[in-house]
Chain A
Amino acid sequence: MKSSSAHFWRSLAEFSEPGKLRELSGAEFPPGASNFGNFNRREFLKIMGASLALASLPACTRQPVRKIVPYVKQPETLVPGKPMFFATAMPLGGFATGLLAESHEGHPTKIEGNPDHPASLGATNIFHQAAVLDLYDPDRSQTLLNNAQPSTWDAFMAALNDVLRSQAVKNGRGLRILTETISSPTLNFQLQSLLKKYPEATWHQFEPVNRDNVHAGALLAFGEIVEAHFHFEKAKIILSLDADFLFAHPNSVRYARDFAEGRRAKFDRPEMNRLYVVESSPTVTGANADHRLPLRAGEMENITRALAEKIGATSAAAAPSLPLEISEWVLAVADDLAAHRGQSLVIAGENQPPAIHALAHSLNNFLGNVGNTVTFSESAVANPIRQTDSMRELIQALSQDQVDALIIFGGNPVFTAPADFHFAENMARAKFQVHLSADVNETSSLCAWHIPQNHFLETWSDARAFDGTTSIVQPLILPLYAGKSAHELLDLMISPPGRSDYEIVREFWRAQNPGDDFESNWRRALHDGLVANTALPAKNVSLRPFELPGPKNNLPILEVTFRPDATIYDGRFANNGWLQELPRPVTKLVWDNAALVSPALAAKENLANGDVVELACEHRVLKIPAWITPGQPENSIALQFGGGRTRVGTVGQNAGSNVFKLRTSAALWFVGGAHLKKTGEKFPLVTTQTQRTVDSEDRQIFREATLNQFFADKNVIQKTSEDPHKNDTLFDPPEFQYAGYRWGMAIDLSACIGCSACTIACQAENNIPIVGKTEVGRGRVLHWIRVDHYFRGPPENPEMFHQPVPCMHCENAPCELVCPVGATLHDHEGLNLQVYNRCVGTRYCSNNCPYKVRRFNFFQYADYENANLKPLWNPNVTVRWRGVMEKCTYCIQRISEARIGSENANRRLRDGEIKTACQQVCPAQAIAFGDLSDPDSRASKLKSHPLNFSMLGELNTRPRTTYLAKLRNPNPQLA
């Protein structure tokens, strides 16, 4: 093993023996003969037709006449071809994020963040971006089902009314409602009035990814349930105890922005926050840490207690002794925290037990952070109960046959409920089950009745953000299928025949605001996307002494941890192709979840990537392929939810393994004493970033420095390479002459958190189809902007770096001069164009592209046939056909749109008027796009920064996309 500590590397196979790569790739690259698959007589004839077409093509030049269909009555505000934007909000895990949805002639095509909304500030995460695809998903449930047979609404109403009538007699003793976490004031009001009508009915809540621990922690520390709000922009020292606050927190979009504010390259002041992360599996947050400590989730309590003890924040029983290097680490962190009273911040993860949260609270309290970097408020959740207990009660009731009618709103408990609850079996004991759900999933298929649920873009509703800000959820389109919203279904139960969700929501809010100004307020709320001053007021809480369970010594060796999947969450997005094909931020895996094992463990059990292992906890067993993950704690195995859905649409079929099988109510997030056995089977896991067998440091593709290095020598980055002088070129004139705008992009690697939102935003904006697991495995992924990920240092705890790579739009673009038909060339604003309709597909340009950012349609990837998906396409972007090259265009459709607008208005474009999709979505504001001929544009400013560098600049391609080197802020004490 060569002295790798100084080297970037990407996959362990590469780190140890490159020889392995061939076998791996062998598994990853399926034989092309698989294409032979569905091949019958008719297809053969087609083929012959195709070959004939080659001969007879010049003849078919005559285009058919197409129709043009005007409105019967054209809406006043609508200008055909001009998109309209409507404010709405998407709830996930109960919490809403304000969005602006783009609508073309009445169908939503793209989702952006709402700049006025505190949880968004104009950015979104991957789930919001992918929501439009869910709306048009052909596999969505389209009809009402009774015992899996298509049924009618009347039939259902009849059945429901019988049940309700019988329940009315016994005050609804046998009536149980099961919902997910709810923050919607209207829905809450409806549920309350239902409970009024049926006093003995019960409302249960359950979601696999819940905040029980957080609330319990608050209860423990303050004696009441409060939400802590963190102000990362004010924090100098941040300690995360297994909290992935940059990616997997209800407020992560906002937190990412605030965190990045404290990171991004400043011109003058040499300060930057410092992030310590202790985590049980590599996460986006961990990847951004200045100091990262991989630790089994079970050991988190010990280290927290040790820390609290060092700082003196608690009088709790003495912490157990820690290994030397860890205690040193803790000491350094403790000093650093203590040195920044009021400017530091400690945050604990949802997957950590209440004790950790309580300790975190007391730490913040002791460090004087409360009121500065940490504030408290009521929970925005309507009814914050302990969901696991709530579910347990329901199960008991079911098992004792006390439940006549079980009405389930959304969710998929059969799939997600803790294994020891045996939800499916118990649910069957209820006489009457109804499941309202967007797709026919495991739960629906076992319920007596399934009712299609409307997508949030088809529904009037409301929801609260993490800070309590309330948004009206406004539909963009009439329901595509005969579905119902939760509001409507509830209303049917309360006051049949029920009203439309518009009436329900509107009337609720009128009741809140009976004044004459309701109409104007209502309109304002719809326009702004939020109801004015509904954010929860800060709440004063006082820490009270709390008891901690005795310190945990001699933990069982092998531990298994559970997490929501980075892209398909708890499985609800399993049928969303964009999310399935989005590389998981750290592992870069697509289409499957895996058991993340540490290199050490892999060596011990002699595991290779893709080896199927058998995990046993108590009597529960799970077979799942292993993925060797640097930075994974040695004896901890990380599993992600969402894989292995059995009842799911075509996209989600046999993707991943169901880890809920191992999850019990006793240990929701991690469990000790697991056993791992190698089965000998292999499973092809596919990643978008495979073989890398060389240190890329000589290549200077990724550059970074520490804060101190930079302020000691501002040119530390410039020195790392010598780019040729701009005139060192054969071309004459050496520089392409630009009259008007010169578009360019700068990406700040210090700010970028590597969340991949840019990739999926680009996919949504530019009609980029998915290609499927097999094709990704063959290296044919179509993403225009990829997020490269590098490790550096020892595999047990490497530093991690990530770098978004779009097209560089080179000044001297190698791709341009090799295209035989001139399908890729420069324009007068410095864009490197790709003209699909001229491209003949020689693929020469891709060979000659040193950045390999060009993508090719090896097959007909874009789906022309499926009518459901057509309204999803962005009408301003060509849908590419088979055999043409494509790549990042800097969202040229947006540029043209803006330019034409400004030219018609006879003015010059202002900086920030054009935002590329990736720039707009970026929660960390790491991407700046603008006119380089304007020295004041944000892009030019960043490019003039001493940290600015060009990837592979020495090739004299002179990229328009440049990077600001990553600055880190390590603690000298730990260096």
Chain B
Amino acid sequence: MNPEAKFISPDATLESVTEQISAIVLTQKSPRSWWLGATIAFALLMLFFFAVAWLLYRGVGIWGINIPIAWGFAIVNFVWWIGIGHAGTFISAILLLLHQQWRTSINRFTEAMTLFAVACAGMFPLLHLGRPFVFYWLVPYPDTMGLWPQFRSPLVWDVFAVSTYFMVSLIFWYAGLMPDLATLRDRASTRRKKILFGIFALGWRGSAAHWQNHQSAYLLLAGLAAPLVLSVHSVVSFDFSVAIVPGWHSTIFPPYFVAGAIYSGFAMVLNIIIPIRKIYRLENLITARHLNNMANVMLATGMMVAYGYIMEAFMAWYSGDIFEQFMMANRAFGPYGWIFWALMLLNVLIPQLLWSKKIRAHRVALFLVAFAINLGMWVERFVIVITSLHRDFTPSAWGMYVPTFWDWATLFGSVGLFLTLLFLFIRCLPMIALSETRKLIVESK
């Protein structure tokens, strides 16, 4: 039998699959766990709104930022979320181009996750501005001042990189969604649902012509999206590597950030998919093989990230630059040393467990490792942003960063936003690509 078989349980038929997936949206009553999760997420979302309102009213001073540490949680969270937003497009675009069939049953889901993560990320650069009300000055437009943004600044590059990435991901995701929306339209029981899905299905009939255009468009978009996966986080990393701050000014950042991004992206996918496939009994579609593959990707990217850490330390020593050397020493043994070692534990040591097949096969263990990685990647950004800033060139101007209640509120609030969107998605749209799964079944039969 062909190896792909393991990507879907043999007894799955076209009908069963269609029924199973569309039922979640159309007929099935949401399980209690959904309500529970959604409620928590929504509560956090409210916290987010509250924190943001207070921020706009009082100013960024409510955070722990100061001089010298002028960038705090806002930027840490931004980079973290962008990173998480990488898995989706990576899975759907790059794996598609590589003809990896195992993407099929998880791509829809991860694409959605990408969109939501990027949406969260996108907020922080705006919120962290001293004057958010004039954020649009970063966008080139013919203004009354006869001025343009300064294109030498990486922050302007960010604007383009992130917005492009978001747009392409959105279209890509929607393109994939169209046939399924049609299916839902046809299976919907009430007229209202029919009309609603119908509108978004854009009159999809599944005719050969439709399929042909759709496939070529889909492939085209994949081709567009693939380079973006690499470019976005490279550009984000420029925010740091372009600056002269020891600990930021490093040529290794782009590849190391991309690797880190995919690392955390997959970690987040696992953290979400493992519970979901349990709750919605999707084990037949999202099989052990999927989890195993994702674990492998994490292991690979994890090693790259570890290599990045080693390289940073090596370069610091090798450069012979006293500021670089001090930065490294201060990272490991300064006031924030314990965070650095936490990072090493979470991002380098714990993931080594994935070498063992047992762990990769063990759902709970895998979940925990993935969680450790998500935590670790956040800590990594904390180390980069804050410990580099708090002691740079001029000792007389050193400081400490102590996060405030509002720092935490915005962080967890954004998690709330992310989860809320996710729960709504699960409830309202097919979280697994119907059409593609059908295709997979046909092929594997």
Q: A–B direct touch, CB within 8 Å, in complex?
A: yes
Is A153 among interface residues, defined by CB-CB distance under 8 A?
Answer: no
Q: Contact flags (1/0) for B305-332 with A, using CB distance below 8 Å?
A: 0000000000000000011001000000
> How many angstroms between the C-alpha atoms of A555 and B130 in the bound complex?
59
User: Which single residue of chain B is at the shortest CB-CB distance from A30?
Assistant: B402
**Do B133 and A54 have beta carbons less than 8 Å apart?**
yes
Encode contact with A along B155-168: 1 for CB under 8 Å, 0 otherwise.
Answer: 11001000000000
A693 to B326, CA, bound (A): 11
Q: Which of B187-208 contact A (CB under 8 A)?
A: none
Structural contact, B404 and A32, CB atoms closer than 8 A: yes
**Smallest distance from the beta carbon of B181 to chain A beta carbons, Å?**
31
Tell me the count of chain A residues lying within 8 A, CB to CB, of chain B.
76
Secondary structure at the B interface, as helix, strand, loop or mixed, is loop
Min C-beta distance of B133 to chain A, whole Å: 5
A801 CB → nearest B CB, Å: 11
Q: Does A167 contact B (CB under 8 A)?
A: no
A32-B63, A817-B152, A852-B392 known; A840 vs B147 contact (CB < 8 Å):
no
Contacts known (A51-B52, A841-B130, A858-B60); A32 close to B407, Cβ less than 8 A = yes
Q: How far is the CA of A792 from the CA of B233 in the complex (A)?
A: 45
Known: A35-B62, A883-B59. A842 touches B129 (CB 8 A): yes
Q: Which of B58, B70, B393 has the most CB of A within 10 A?
A: B70
For residues 924 through 969 of chain A, which have their beta carbon under 8 Å from a beta carbon of chain B? Answer: 951-952, 955
Scan B367-396; emit 1 where CB is below 8 A from any A CB, else 0.
000000000000000000000010111111
Question: Least Cβ distance of A1 to chain B in Å?
Answer: 16
Pick from A780, A788, A805: contact of B61, CB under 8 Å: A780
Q: A689-B396, A846-B68 are in contact. Are A841 and B245 (CB under 8 A)?
A: no
Kindly provide the distance from the CB of B374 to the nearest chain A CB, expressed in whole angstroms: 25
**1/0 per position for B45-72, CB-CB distance to A under 8 A?**
0000000111011111111111111110
User: Distance (Å) between the CB of B408 and the closest chain A CB?
Assistant: 10
Quick one: CB contact mask for A18-53 with B, threshold 8 Å, 1 for yes? 100110011001011101100000010011101101
Interface residues as binary, A780-804 with B (CB distance below 8 Å gives 1, 0 otherwise): 1000001011100000000000010
Tell me, yes or no, whether A778 is within 8 Å of chain B by CB.
Answer: yes
Q: Which residues of B contact A698 (CB under 8 A)?
A: 322
Q: Are A818 and B399 in contact, with the CB atoms below 8 A? A: no
Do A51 and B56 have beta carbons less than 8 Å apart?
A: yes
Q: How far is the CB of B43 from chain A (nearest CB, A)?
A: 18
Chain B, range 119-135, C-beta contacts under 8 Å to A: 128-135
B393 touches A839 (CB 8 A): no
CB contacts under 8 Å to B, within A646-700, are 689-694, 696, 698-699
Any B CB within 8 A of the CB of A822: yes
Interface readout for B132-158 with A: 1 if CB under 8 Å, 0 if not?
Answer: 111101100000010111101111100
Nearest CB of chain A from residue B384's CB, rounded to whole Å: 12
In the complex, whether A496 has a CB less than 8 A from a CB of chain B is no
CA distance A690 to B65 in the complex (A): 16
CA distance A690 to B68 in the complex (A): 12
What's the nearest-Cβ distance from chain B to residue A54, in Å?
6
Partner of A699, one of B147, B159, B322: B322
With contact pairs A25-B402, A51-B56, A856-B70 given, residues A883 and B131 touching in the complex (Cβ less than 8 Å): yes
Residues of B within 8 A of A883 (CB): 59-60, 129-131
Closest residue on chain B to residue A61 by CB atoms: B144
Q: Say whether A35 contacts B61, CB under 8 Å.
A: yes
Chain A residues with CB under 8 A of B52: 51
Minimum Cβ distance to chain B for residue A144 (Å): 40
* Contact among B53, B153, B155 for A51, CB-based, below 8 A: B53
Instruction: Tell me whether B394 and A701 are in contact (CB under 8 A).
Output: yes
Main secondary structure, interface of A, reads loop
B406 at the interface (CB under 8 A from A): yes
Counting chain B CB atoms within 10 Å of each CB, the highest count among A31, A821, A857 belongs to A821
- How distant is B18 from chain A, measured CB to nearest CB, in Å? 42
Residues 851 to 904 of chain A near chain B (Cβ within 8 Å):
851-860, 882-885
Bound together, the chains give a CA A362 to CA B350 distance in angstroms of: 79
Task: State the CA gap A91–B58 with chains docked (Å).
Answer: 42
Q: Which residues of B contact A93 (CB under 8 A)?
A: none
Chain B residue total in the interface (Cβ 8 A): 67
Cβ contacts under 8 Å, B133 to chain A = 53-54, 57
Q: Which chain B residues lie closer than 8 Å to A859 at the CB level?
A: 58-59, 61
Interface assignment of A85: CB less than 8 Å from any CB of chain B = no
Does B341 sit within 8 A of A, measured CB to CB?
Answer: no
> Bound state CA distance, A238 and B180, in angstroms?
92
In chain B, positions 392-424 with a C-beta closer than 8 Å to chain A are 392-400, 402-407
In Å, the complex CA distance between A543 and B138 comes to 77
- Residues of chain B with a CB closer than 8 A to A43's CB: 57
Tell me, yes or no, whether A310 is within 8 Å of chain B by CB.
Answer: no
Taking the complex as formed, is A431 at the interface, i.e. its CB lies under 8 A from any CB of chain B? no
Interchain CB contact (< 8 A) of B399 among A691, A819, A860, A884? A691
Residues of B within 8 A of A839 (CB): 130-131
Please give the distance in Å from B241's CB to the nearest CB on chain A: 12
- Do B404 and A841 touch (CB < 8 A)? no
Question: How many angstroms between the C-alpha atoms of A822 and B68 in the bound complex?
Answer: 21
Does B335 reach chain A (CB closer than 8 Å)? yes
Which A residues are CB-close (under 8 A) to B128?
842
Residues facing B in A274-313 (CB within 8 A) are none
Does the CB pair B395–A694 fall under 8 Å? yes
Q: How far is the CB of A253 from chain B (nearest CB, A)?
A: 26
Counting CB contacts under 8 A, is B428 at the interface? no
- Is B243 located at the chain interface by the 8 A CB criterion? yes
Measured between beta carbons, the chain B residues less than 8 angstroms from A817 are 150, 152-153
* Distance, CA A940 to CA B437, complexed state (A): 77
Contacting pair A884 B131 (CB below 8 A): yes
Query: Is B365 in contact with chain A by the CB < 8 A criterion?
Result: no
Tell whether, in the assembled complex, residue A819 and residue B153 are in contact, meaning their CB atoms are under 8 Å apart: yes
Q: What is the bound-complex CA distance between A773 and B137, given in angstroms? A: 34
Query: By the criterion CB–CB under 8 Å, are A820 and B138 in contact?
Result: yes
B242 interface residue, CB < 8 Å from A?
A: yes
Nearest residue in B to A22 (C-beta to C-beta)? B335
Q: How far is the CA of A690 from the CA of B52 in the complex (A)?
A: 31
Residues of chain B within 8 A of A33, CB atoms compared:
404-406
Answer whether residue A527 sits at the interface, using C-beta atoms and an 8 A cutoff: no
Whether the pair B70, A843 counts as a contact (CB closer than 8 A) is: yes
Indicate which residue in A35, A818, A858, A884 contacts B242 across the interface (CB closer than 8 Å): A818
Residue A502 CB within 8 A of the other chain: no
CB neighbours (8 Å) of A50 from chain B are 53, 56-57
A479 interface residue per 8 A CB criterion: no
Interface flag for A115 (CB, 8 Å): no
A18 and B335 contact, CB distance less than 8 A: yes
CB atoms of A691 and B335 under 8 A apart: yes
Contact across chains for A21 and B395 when beta carbons are under 8 A apart = no
The yes or no answer to B171 lying at the interface (CB within 8 A) is no
Which of B132, B326, B391, B395 gathers the greatest number of chain A CB atoms within 10 Å? B395
Nearest A residue to B126, CB-CB: A54
Q: Any chain B CB within 8 A of the CB of A844?
A: yes
Nearest-CB residue, chain B, relative to A19: B335
Q: Are B389 and A847 in touch, CB under 8 angstroms?
A: yes
- How far does the Cβ of B238 sit from chain A's closest Cβ, in whole Å? 10
The reply to whether the CB of A140 lies closer than 8 angstroms to some CB of chain B is no
From 476 to 499 in chain A, residues with beta carbon under 8 angstroms from any chain B beta carbon are none
Residues of B within 8 A of A48 (CB): 53
B61, B71, B322: which contacts A858 (Cβ < 8 A)? Answer: B61
- Could you name 27 residue pairs across A and B whose Cβ atoms are closer than 8 Å? A29-B402, A31-B402, A33-B405, A35-B58, A51-B52, A51-B53, A691-B400, A692-B395, A694-B326, A701-B395, A778-B66, A779-B399, A779-B400, A790-B396, A814-B243, A817-B153, A818-B153, A821-B147, A838-B137, A843-B70, A844-B243, A847-B68, A850-B393, A857-B59, A883-B60, A883-B131, A955-B393
Closest A-B pairs by Cβ, 8 of them: A841-B130, A32-B404, A883-B130, A858-B61, A852-B397, A779-B66, A843-B70, A788-B396
What is A's interface to B at a CB cutoff of 8 Å?
10, 18, 21-22, 25-26, 29, 31-33, 35-36, 43, 46-48, 50-51, 53-54, 57, 689-694, 696, 698-699, 701, 775, 778-780, 786, 788-790, 803, 805, 814, 817-822, 838-844, 846-848, 850-860, 882-885, 951-952, 955
